[in-house]
Amino acid sequence: MNKRRVLLVSEANFLNSGFGTYAKELLNRLHTTNKYELAEFASYGKPSMGQSVPWTFYGNMPEDGDQASLNFYNSNGSHQFGTWRFDKVCIDFKPDIVLSYRDPWMDNWIQNAPTRPYFHWVWMPTVDSSPQRQEWVNTFSTCDAVLAYSEFGGKVLKEQGKERINYIGCASPGIDPHVYKPLPKEALRKEMGIDPECFIVGTVMRNQKRKLFFELMKSFRSFLDEAPSDIASKSLLYLHTSYPEKNGWDIADGIMQNNLGGKVLMTYICRVCNKFFPSTFQDALAQCQFCKQRTAVCPTVSLGVSVEDLAKIYNLFDLYVQYAICEGFGMPQVEAAACGVPVAGTDYSAMHDVIKFTKGYPIPVKTFFREIETNAERAYPDNDKLKETFIEFFSQSNEERTKKSMEVRKHTIKRYNWDDTASVWERYIDSYEPQGLQGKWDSPASLSMVPDGIPENLSNEDFIKWIFTDVLHDPDLLHQNEGVKLYRDLTFGAEMGQGVLEPLSREKIFDAYRARANNRNQAEQLRAGNIQVHPEKFIIEARAGQEERV
């Protein structure tokens, strides 16, 4: 029996990001089974970056020096997610099944890929709040199967999608218990110049709008004001985050407004010697404690610490806080819990799951609000309850906190296990039944006639019907969100999106859908071998790597 051909659409397995880690852990485990022909399409990888992996690697980013490809890549924002190369990858690799696991706006284009009829599609989108946008729900319903990062996300998908979405379960990210584990706290603090007797509330979050850094600082200030003096005097707040950040919080202003000078620790990384160290807040640029140059900055996605060093940072904390209006998952809270650090967080979205499964401290929602960008319910947690949690936690004895740490570690490694995560995907890959043309890459080309012009005397309703039946030859879209929205916009004479009105005419619609239909025909010709083209360099490199591994 031939091995099933599995293609994962990723950010890149080598990136130090949540999506990067998920790809690495999943691909390695699927490869170890030796049951599949495996490939990765890496959005933020270049073709030459896949030489060290044991599966076929397709890079989405242009190579250095390829100016023509770079210009085209930069011409459309969706190209960074893979839209410009995905069909070429599929035609070359011929996957039986495609796996994706990223945000809705990153992967929703897969539903309209010309090669879509020929593969089974399983998607695990981030579902961080309710309700989900209707167009996203419609896209989820076009998948053959849908997974969720959290039980919360699964509940939203089932309630909002009803029978339309084939929800098959939860495949939460796991942790490596051999990396994220308890370490000697007293020795670590001494090594890093921190008082071993102090109390540390810590967080590891991106500096972005939905992470509530200011509210966390407010709560910590209230805690210092109301806690017994013997607790407050030795309590510190540790922020492992980027600063400054273009669309992030002004950390310096938050410290000043909440009178937290000398009470906030930050991580700094030297751009010269690459070593990291904790320090009381020194603004955006600090003197390196090792090479003594003023070249130390706060960590970013591109300049971060190793996972081993991140585990050390978690182990400096007594209590971890995930304070956000929503989370698709939030890996740091699980990593901290695996280190035996109890988690307090907003009792909403994926944070609710993590707190429940790791035996943490839920901070109740004080109020919900609708976010203008997503039209989703977001949560503001109760700052007073967080303050009370701090006081209660640090009022415990050392023995009580040690017992809690052991309990948290035990439940975390039981629930968040990469082997269990991979097995969810593996079971589905092994058991699904292909539908229609799925897997039949050698089928004859299915070509459609594309009109040269627009018929006269059509009503708006008939014109939209003609677009989907006679131009795109996909009448099912007529009554889905795409068709309904297009009819509405044509009736208004303007496309409504991104806060602006863009003039819309029949000619503009026809040109766009004719291009889409022609693109589909061209992809069909390439797939069936009716058109012979020299493979692009990124395809050649992927094939070469595959041959070397064979």
Under a CB-based contact definition with an 8 Å cutoff, are residues 517 and 461 in contact? Answer: no
Taking only the tens place, the pLDDT of each residue in 432-489 is 999 999 999 999 999 999 999 999 999 999 999 999 999 999 999 998 889 999 999 9
Residue 451 lies in a domain: no
To which residue do tokens 């994962």 refer?
8
pTM score of the predicted model: 0.90
Q: Tell me whether residue 71 is in a domain.
A: yes
pLDDT at residue 499 tops 70: no
**455 located within any domain:** no
Task: Determine if residue 169 is left, alpha or beta; phi over 0 gives left, psi from -120 to 50 gives alpha, anything else beta.
Answer: left
Examine the domain organization and report whether 542 and 480 are in the same domain. Answer: no
- Is there a single domain that holds both residue 273 and residue 408? yes
Spatial separation of the C-alpha atoms in residues 439 and 271, rounded to whole Å? 49
Instruction: Identify whether 24 is part of a domain.
Output: yes
Q: Are residues 268 and 373 in the same domain?
A: yes
CA distances from 367 to 55, 246, 381, 385 (A): 47, 27, 7, 13
Which pLDDT band, with edges at 50, 70 and 90, does 351 fall under?
A: very high
Q: How much is the mean pLDDT over the chain?
A: 96
Q: What is the pLDDT of residue 1?
A: 65
Residue 453 within any structural domain of the chain: no
Write down the pLDDT at residue 278: 98
Residues 122 and 33 in one domain: yes
Q: How many domains, the chain?
A: 3
Q: What is the pLDDT of residue 532?
A: 86
Predicted confidence (pLDDT) per residue in 355-395, tens digit:
999 999 999 999 999 998 888 899 999 999 999 999 999 99
Angle at the Cα of 336 (from 330 to 341), degrees rounded to 5?
135
pLDDT at 550: 59
Q: Which two tokens stand for residue 117?
A: 């009829």
Q: Is residue 179 domain-resident?
A: no
Give the separation between CA 116 and CA 100, rounded to whole angstroms. 13
| Span 34-64, pLDDT tens digits | 999 999 999 999 999 988 999 999 999 999 8
Residue 450 located in a structural domain: no
Domain-located, residue 452: no
Instruction: Provide the CA 406 distance to its chain's centre, in angstroms.
Output: 30
> Do 155 and 238 fall into the same domain?
no
Does 217 share its domain with 303? yes
366 and 402 housed in the same domain: yes
Q: How confident is the model at residue 265 (pLDDT cuts 50, 70, 90)?
A: very high
Q: Do 385 and 435 sit in the same domain of this protein?
A: no
CA distances from 264 to 220, 233, 242, 252, 261 (A): 10, 13, 14, 10, 7
Are 340 and 300 within one domain? Answer: yes
Q: Are residues 494 and 358 part of one domain?
A: no
Dihedrals phi, psi of 110, to nearest 5 degrees: -60, -30
- The whole domain housing 201 covers 185-415
For position 198, which CATH number holds? 3.40.50.2000
- With CA atoms as reference, report the closest residue to 471 among 414, 514, 407: 514
Q: Domain of 111: which CATH number?
A: 3.40.50.11930
Residues 149 and 228 in one domain: no
- Asked if residue 410 and residue 426 are part of one domain, the reply reads no
